[in-house]
Structure 1
Amino acid sequence: MPEKKEPAPGDGLRSVRTTSLFRAVNFELYVKPNLVIMGLGLTAFVGCVGYITYMRSHYDAMGYYPAVQEDGTEQFVKKKSKWD
């Protein structure tokens, strides 16, 4: 019978006694990090945030602002001057 090793600091969740269901549901806690997938995810996230920032500045430069209508919906409306 193998002797049980005492968990040491830095062992992480692998040293904790868990059920198979917990390991199946939370598999990302037990697998080794994949740098390629992490890089692709980071690139996609930065691309999405950049696109949202670009579109927001694009609408601001065109003179649009988000206005809330009477029924509660939000719509982009072009700014109008009271002097026109």
Structure 2
Amino acid sequence: MNKKDHKAEPGDGLRSLKSTMLFRAVNYELYIRPNKMVMIFGTIAIFSCIGYIVYMRHNSDNTKYYSAVTSDGSVDFKKKTSKWTV
């Protein structure tokens, strides 16, 4: 069956429509088959990044020290204290 003889039916998507080569070059994701290995790698990479960010936020919130710049310009680590405790 030739592509020219193929009649567009509902559910065919953008592949069945007439389009220019520029549109196909710019929007190539619409015209290629999905690659499952790339999708799996991308999903693992995104969730790894999110997990690392959550891990770093969790560890930074639980620290008992903070860095403070003194008047002479050096960085000093001071212990966190609460204004509510006596």
Q: Tell me if both proteins adopt one fold, taking TM over 0.5 as the criterion.
A: yes
Residue 62 of structure 1 aligns to a residue in which SS?
coil
The alignment covers a number of residue pairs equal to: 72
Match of 1:68 in 2: none
1:43 aligned residue: 44
Q: Which runs of 5+ in 1 are unaligned?
A: 66-77
* Partner residue in 2 for 1:69: none
Q: One-letter code of the match for 1:32?
A: R
Unaligned runs of 5+ in 2: 67-78
Match of 1:17 in 2: 18
CA distance change for structure 1 residues 63 and 16 in 2, over 3 Å: closer, same or farther?
farther
Number of the residue aligned with 1:54: 55
CA distance in 2, matches of 1:33, 1:26: 14
| Identity within the alignment, % | 51
Instruction: After superposition, give the CA deviation of every residue in 1:30-52 in whole Å (9 maximum; x if it has no partner).
Output: 00000001100000000000000
What is the one-letter code of the residue matched to 1:18?
S
Opposite residue 60 of structure 1, the aligned amino acid is: D
* Cα deviation code 1:4-25 (max 9, x no counterpart): 4331111111111111000001
